[in-house]
Amino acid sequence: MFGKRRGKIPTRRRRAAIMLAGLVPIALMALAKLADPAVLTETRGLVFDTYQRLSPRLWRDAGVRVVDIDDESIRRLGQWPWPRTDLAALTKAIADAGAAAIGFDIVFSEPDRTSPRLLAEWEQRQGATPAQLAALRSLPDHDARFAEALAATPSVLGFFLTQDRRTDSVQPKAGFAVAGTDPGASLTDYPGAILPLAQFQAAAPGLGFVSIKGDADGIIRRVPLIARAKGALVPALSAEALRVAQGAGSMIVRSSDASGEVNAGAPEAVALKIGEAEVPVTERGELWMHYTEPVPERTVPAWKLMNGGVSQAEMQRLFSGRIVLIGAGAIGLRDLVSTPLQDRELGVVIHAQAIEQMVLKDFLYRPDWAAGLEMSVLLGTGVLLALLLPMMGAFRGALLAAGLMAGVGGGSWYAFRAKSLLIDPSASILALLACYIVVTLFTYLREERQRRYIHGAFDRYLSPEMVKRITDDPSRLELGGEVREMTVLFCDIRGFSHISEQMGPQEIIRFLIAFLTPMTDILLARRATIDKYIGDAILAFWNAPLDDPDQHRNAARAALAMVEGLAELNRTMPQRTEQSWPGQVEIGIGLNAGPCCVGNMGSARRLSYSLIGDTVNLASRIEGLTKAYGVRILVGEELAERLEGFALVEVDRVRVVGRDRPVTVHALLGDEKLAGSPAFAAFAGAHAQLLADYRQRRWDDAEHRLDACAAEAAGYGLARVGERYRASIRTFRAHPPADDWDGVTIAESK
């Protein structure tokens, strides 16, 4: 009896120690939940994103339409911005069709440059006759015509909220009433705004901000309906459009203490009443978005309305009694954001979906008690698992942990699917997983007798499932593509992040248009295919979809022409007062040639004619090297071999990131004219001998040649190349390279 009692005490102690070990990750996760670090916030966002992808909002016609100024509209009607008279006609046509409200996701902050008044001023500077000037000044002012259209229609103008304190104050079109204590401290306060012209503000019945800011990962999960501008409450475009459509007066902000309950903390916004619609909002005045899949019925191209091809009956069918938002979706004008369902979605569609949710009362809720419930679930399930695991075998413990995690995850999914509640299961699941791992490992270390059993159970729990082999014809999975010998060009603006910091959104758009347009013209003139614009970068290629037997030379001449074209832009653009141009802009161009797979890439639902392959990746890496070597154009060895007669100089042999085999990169300095000059031939020979001396470890000879041709190198734009070799020689003199050194430079970044 005594012996049995002594045997139970160590067992109980071991179990108690294991229980305490299991409670440690639960406690740590609970503390992390209270602190809510960025990693948990991002995880929570990804969970909610997954729910939306699994169960997007089913589209029902809520009477919201988007008029898209798309690429086809630009092609048919001319470049943006269009004359305000055209916009006035568009606004009037939509209003005549019976639209309840017309919102512009466009900020008209500058006068119409095509207005007769401004044209007269320009013509006067050009020496026009008084009669010509009088004729121009007699014509109606475009902005005045647009203001008249705004005043005669249920229009809502957009404006940007900014952090610039030097801008004018916003004067909302309607006031705000507060039910309860003013929750203003919980709302984001912006010190400035970019507003429409004063005459437009005075004419339009509505005024709402269009600024949307994503989470830390850039995904838009919530959109603000109200904010503060210099302390004053202002509505978003979506809220203001709904107000104007209903003919409502002021909006009512309901505070957290408006129900008469005891308020334990500072008052926060909980709801916004707009006419007949009462919308739940977060403490920052935001609406949780529940997105639909892309809906073609929601959008109408602007060109169809502008060319008069839509009958009045069709116009009424499209717009009668509806809220209409006008936005720009054309390349170069796009206000693109990321959502849980779309990597790139038009900002105006986000506003439209917000209005749909308010009209349909189809909301997602994250109530203020959600955090408390999540903490209770974390502690309850975590403590339960920590207490029961030591008394269970590894297999049964795994089933218990998996069951608890499935219950937590399933409950969260049910809350979303059935009740539209956003309850985060991630912290609880992570705590349960951490508890199970800690307890299992602790038991493994303390219980040597059960090592093999626990090891087998643990492996079974964590091993990945076998993927079912595809037995159908693999060609069915191919979207279409072929392998071709191609030439690839990457072009990127150096320091674009710094440039964009100094410019407003409209200025950035104008700058990119001013840069990308002539660069694109140069490429197209040399038979390039433009794959895509990646922000400020250009990806282009040759020899597809049409054969180009002179692809290599076309690519080289295009790159040289782009450098010359940029020099011309740097010279002329700063002198144009209407154009934003940030001083001296520099670019880097990477060229490479080789086999690529080109064709229809993407998914079965969405295709894009593009190319992939090592040649493309290497071209991108080569472009990245231009900054390190201070060279505008770098060419890969495959392409350099095919550019006989061009002024090429070998720069280095580099092992780029993600690639084992080094590549020899050459600087493309000019065409056949430069290559045929005696001065360049002499420099190229001296530079080649410099590389030979360097790679043969003849440091003195190499340094002597660097000194001898330093002036010529600087003249050809290779000064930084010489500096790099000079620095390497100093390093190798102090620390000689290994015997197997092959002269290859290791690139430290992309």
Q: Which residues pair with 591 in a beta bridge?
A: 489, 635
pLDDT in tens, 453-499: 333 433 332 223 323 333 333 333 344 578 899 999 999 998 888 88
Residue 675 placed within a domain: yes
Q: Are residues 614 and 636 in the same domain?
A: yes
Dihedrals φ, ψ of 534, to 5°? -110, 80
% the chain with pLDDT above 90: 52
CA dist., res. 30 & res. 337, Å (int): 33
Amino acid at 401: A
Question: Does the structure show a pLDDT above 60 at 305?
Answer: yes
From CA 14, how far away is CA 10, in angstroms rounded? 6
Domain identity same for 435 and 560: no
Least confident of 93-107, 112-126, 666-680: 112-126
Overall residue count recorded for the chain in this entry: 750
Q: What is the pLDDT of residues 195-216, one digit of tens each?
A: 999 999 999 999 999 999 888 8
Distance CA 266, CA 227 (A): 17
Half-sphere exposure of 619 (CA within 13 A, CB side): 30
CA dihedral 682, 688, 693, 699 (to 10 degrees): 70
Residue 124 domain-assigned (yes or no): no
Inside any domain, residue 120: no
- Tokens of residue 378, six digits: 């974390």
Q: Quick one: pLDDT band at residue 16, thresholds 50, 70, 90?
A: confident
pLDDT value of residue 138? 63
Let me know if 345 is exposed, middle or buried by CB neighbors in 10 A (0-12, 13-18, 19+): buried
Look at residue 462 in the predicted model and tell me its pLDDT.
29
> What was the pLDDT predicted at 95?
94
Which residues on neighbouring strands pair with residue 588, listed in sequence order? 492
Residues 579 and 672 in one domain: yes
Q: Above 60 in pLDDT, residue 7? A: no
DSSP line for 721-747: HHHHHHHHHHHHHHSPPPTT--SPEEP
Shared-domain flag, residues 540 and 557: yes
Question: Where is 530: in which H helix or E strand?
Answer: strand 529-534
The answer as to whether 470 is a domain residue is: no
Per-residue pLDDT, 79: 84
pLDDT given for residue 544 in this prediction: 83
- Tell the burial category of 42 from Cβ atoms under 10 Å away from its Cβ (0-12, 13-18, 19+): middle
pLDDT at 322: 95
Residue 575 — very low, low, confident or very high, per pLDDT cuts 50/70/90? confident
pLDDT confidence tier of residue 390, bands split at 50, 70 and 90: confident
Q: Assign 442 a pLDDT band (cuts: 50, 70, 90).
A: confident
pLDDT for 451 equals 42
Q: Is 88 domain-assigned? A: yes
pLDDT at 604 over 70: no
Say if residue 517 is in the same domain as residue 446: no
Please indicate, yes or no, if residue 504 is contained in any of the structural domains: yes
Alpha carbon distance 278, 370 (integer Å): 21
Domain boundary among 462, 477, 509: 462
- Give 229-255 pLDDT, tens digit per residue: 888 899 999 999 999 999 988 899 988
pLDDT for the residue 404: 93
More confident of the two residues 226 and 394: 226
Mean pLDDT of the 334-358 span: 89
Residues 224 and 294 in one domain: yes
Residues 527 and 548 in one domain: yes
**Do residues 182 and 315 share a domain?**
yes
**Same domain for 618 and 718:** yes
User: With bands split at pLDDT 50, 70 and 90, how would you rate the model's confidence at 334?
Assistant: low
Distances (CA, A) of 203 to 18, 168, 178, 199, 200: 73, 18, 27, 6, 5
Domain endpoint, select from 314, 338, 360:
360
Which of 341, 360, 379 terminates a domain? The answer is 360
Mean model confidence pLDDT for the chain: 85
What is the pLDDT, as a whole number, of residue 678?
93
Q: Residue 287 and residue 235: Cα distance in Å, rounded?
A: 12
Name the CA radius of gyration of the chain, rounded.
33
Nearest to 245 by CA among 152, 320, 154: 154
Of 104-118, 366-380, 449-463, the range with the highest mean pLDDT is 366-380
Average pLDDT over residues 262-281: 80
Q: Does the residue 208 lie in any domain?
A: yes
Q: 625-640 pLDDT, tens per residue? A: 999 999 999 999 999 9
Q: Are residues 422 and 348 in the same domain?
A: no
Range of the domain at 90: 64-106+144-360
In this predicted structure, which of 83-87, 111-115, 364-368, 726-730 has the lowest mean pLDDT? 111-115
Is position 293 within any domain?
yes
Structural element, H or E, at residue 345 = strand 345-346
Q: DSSP for 258-314?
A: TTSPPP-SS--EEEEEETTEEEE--TTSEEEP-PPPP-GGGEEEHHHHHTT-S-HHH
Total of domains in the chain: 3
Q: 580 with 688, same domain?
A: yes
616 with 738, same domain: the answer is: yes
What local confidence, expressed as pLDDT, does residue 267 receive?
78
Residue 458 or 111, more confident: 111
Backbone angles phi, psi at 650, to 5 degrees: -65, 130
Alpha-carbon span 728 to 720, nearest angstrom: 12
* CATH at 558: 3.30.70.1230
